[in-house]
Chain A
Amino acid sequence: MDLLYKIFLDPFVQMGAAPDLLVQTLWEGLVAGVLYALIALGYVLIYKASGVFNFAQGIMVVFAALTLVGVAARLRQWGVAPGDVAAYGALVLTALVMLGLAWGVERVMLRPLVNQPEIILFMATFGLTYFLIGFGELLFGGEPKVMITDDLHLPRGALEFKMLGGFVSLQKIDVAAAVIASIMVAALALFFQKTRIGRALRAVADSHKAALSVGISLEQIWVTVWFAAGIVALATGIMWGARSDVSFALQTLALKALPVLILGGFTSIPGAIVGGVIIGVGEKLGEFYWGPLLGSGIESWLAYVIALVFLLFRPQGLFGEKIIERI
C-alpha cells in the first residue's frame, strides 16, 4: 500500500502543494525538450532527403561550436576589434565552413555512393564522424572551451516571476533558445511542405533514380540539405555550449535525440519539436517527482523507456509517414 501511495498519489499531492515548483520543473523540461528537438531536427533534415540516419549529426554540433569559438579567438589574435565584430564575423565564417563541409560531404561521400543501399550510406556517416573528431581535435585541440556567449549578445541572467505563492526563475538564455528553435522549426517545416525544393527533397529520399529522371539535381539537393543541417548544428552548438562547455562530450547528448525521433517520427519536422518537448518534460517530471523512489538517475534512461513503449504501438512515430509495404 505504501508503495502504491508513493507512486500514484504522493507525487500529485506534492505538485498540488507547491505549484511554483511544478511550473519550474515544467519549464526546465520544456527547455531541455526544445534543445533535444534542435538536435533531432538536424537528423530529420538529412533523413528526409537521403533516407539515411546521419550518425555524424552529434559531432557536427561539436564541430560547428568549436569552429565558432576557434575562429573568434583567431580573429581576436589578429587584432580584429573584440566583441561584436569578431563574434559575428566568426558566425558568418562558421556558416561558410558548414557550407564547405556540406559541399565536401556531397563530393567525397555521397556522390560516389548514389543508388547504394541505405546501410552503406549509414556506415559512411560513421566514417564522417570519426573524421570530424580527428579533424576537429587537430584544428582546435581537445580541451573544453567557453562559448562566446557575451560577444554574441546572448542574454544571461534570470527572469524571476513571483507566482503561485513562490518564485519561478527562467534563465534568459533558455528563453532565447526556445525562441530560436521555434523560428527554425517553423521555417524548415514551411520550406519542406510548400516549396519546389521541398518536394524535390522528399522525392530524392524516396528514389534516387526516379528523382534524377525528372531532372532533380542530387548534388544541389544534398548540398542544400547538409548545409541546412550544418546551420541547425551550429545553432544547437551555440545553445548547448552556452549552458555547459564546448567539448567533445557534447556529441553524446546527440544520442538523446534518438528517443525524440522515435516519438516524433523520423520524417516530421513538427514531430521533432513535439517529441522533444514530450521527452524533455517527461524526463524532468519523472526525475523530480518519481526519481527519489528509485534512488534518482531516472533522467538518463526514462527517455529510452518512453521510446520503447512507442515503438511497440506506433513504430512510425506520432507524425511519421505511414509505413506501407505491399507483399
Chain B
Amino acid sequence: MTAGRGAGAHEALLSVEGVSLAFGGVKALTDVSFDVRKGEIRAIIGPNGAGKTSMLNVINGFYRPQDGRITFKGRTRSAMRPYEAARGGIARTFQNVALFRGMSALDNIMAGRTLKMHRGFFWQLIRFGPALAEEVEHRRKVEEIIDFLEIPQIRKTPVGRLPYGLQKRVELGRALAMEPDLLLLDEPMAGMNLEEKEDMSRYIIDANNHLGTTIALIEHDMGVVMDLSDRVVVLEYGRKIADGTPDEVKADHKVVAAYLGVPH
C-alpha cells in the first residue's frame, strides 16, 4: 500500500514452519508454514473455525504445537511460555477483549510496561531516587500512547465501565506499551461500527508507519484486510490454502471457493 513500509528488508522476523496442532481428535492446524517480514502488516484470514486464533496462540506460546518449528528474531523453538514470548517482544490483543477490568485505563496500559521496569521493589516501595525517575519515565511513555490513541479523557476510568470500542483501544494501548517487535491483533475491529473501524485502521497503520511495529492481524472485514495488509495468508480447516498480496489472494480460486462455496 504505502511506500516505505517493509522497505528494503525482506528479512523474516517470524517464520512458522510445518506447525500442526491438535486437541485430541480435532485438528486445529495441519502443517502450516508462513513468514512475517520485518515492518509489514500481515493478515491471517479464513472462514470461522479455520484455526486463525489457534495460530496466534501458538505464536505467543498459549498453545504448544505437536509438530513444527517457529523462528522468531533468528531463534528457533517449538514452544515457549507466554511470558517468555512477551519478554522476547511479542505483544497481542484478544478476540474477546481481555483487560484488567478493575484497574483504570492508565493502569492497564502501565501494566504493559511491566517488563520494562527494573528497579527493585524496595525502591519502588519508598518511591525514591532511581525508582521514582523510572516510574515517571514510564508514565511519560504511557501518556504518549494515550495521546496517540486519543483517549486522554478516559485515563482514570476503570475499564470495566468503558464501551466496547474504547476497551479495544485500551487493549491496543497496553500491547503498544510493551514496544513490541511483533504485534498480534486478534480481530481488532470485531463488533465495531464503520467509524470505529476507520479509527482503528488508522491507529494500526500509524503504529506500523511511525513506530515501525511489525503486525500480524486476524480480521473478518475483507475491505479492511485488503486495504491494510501487505500480504495475506488464508487458512481453511487448519490448512494454508493461499499466501500472497491482497490482489493475488483475491484472485485465487481456492480462496473464492472457501468463502463462497463451489458450484456443483
Contacts and interface: CB of A to CB of B under 8 A. Distances in A.
A in complex with B: yes
Interface in A167-215: 190-191, 194-200, 202-203, 205-207, 209-215
Interface of B: 60, 62, 81-83, 85-87, 91-92, 94, 98-103, 107, 110-112, 114-115, 117, 119, 121, 124-125, 127, 158, 160-161, 174-175, 178
A322 interface: yes
Contact of A199 (B114, B125, B158): B114
Interface of A: prevailing SS: helix
Contact of A213 (B98, B119, B127): B98
A191 B121 contact: yes
A212 B127 CA distance: 26
A269 to B, nearest CB: 14
A190 B160 contact: no
Contact of A207 (B101, B127, B161): B101
Interface of A: 190-191, 194-200, 202-203, 205-207, 209-218, 267, 321-322, 324-326
Given A195-B125, A324-B158, A326-B160, A214 B111 contact: yes
Nearest to B178: A214
Contact of B100 (A197, A206, A322, A325): A206
A211 to B, nearest CB: 8
A210 B94 contact: yes
A220 to B, nearest CB: 9
A322 to B, nearest CB: 7
A50 to B, nearest CB: 14
21 contacts: A191-B121, A196-B121, A198-B121, A199-B111, A199-B114, A203-B111, A205-B102, A206-B101, A209-B82, A210-B98, A210-B99, A212-B82, A213-B91, A213-B98, A213-B175, A215-B114, A216-B83, A217-B81, A218-B83, A322-B158, A325-B160
Contacts of A197: 121
Given A194-B125, A203-B103, A214 B114 contact: yes
Given A217-B83, A326-B160, A199 B107 contact: yes
Which of A206, A214, A217, A325 has the largest count of B CB atoms less than 10 A from its CB? A214
Contacts of B125: 190-191, 194-195
Nearest to A324: B160
Which of B86, B94, B99, B158 has the largest count of A CB atoms less than 10 A from its CB? B86
Nearest to A199: B111
A198 to B, nearest CB: 8
A324 B161 contact: yes
B258 to A, nearest CB: 29
Given A195-B124, A202-B100, A215 B87 contact: yes
A215 B179 CA distance: 12
B83 A212 contact: yes
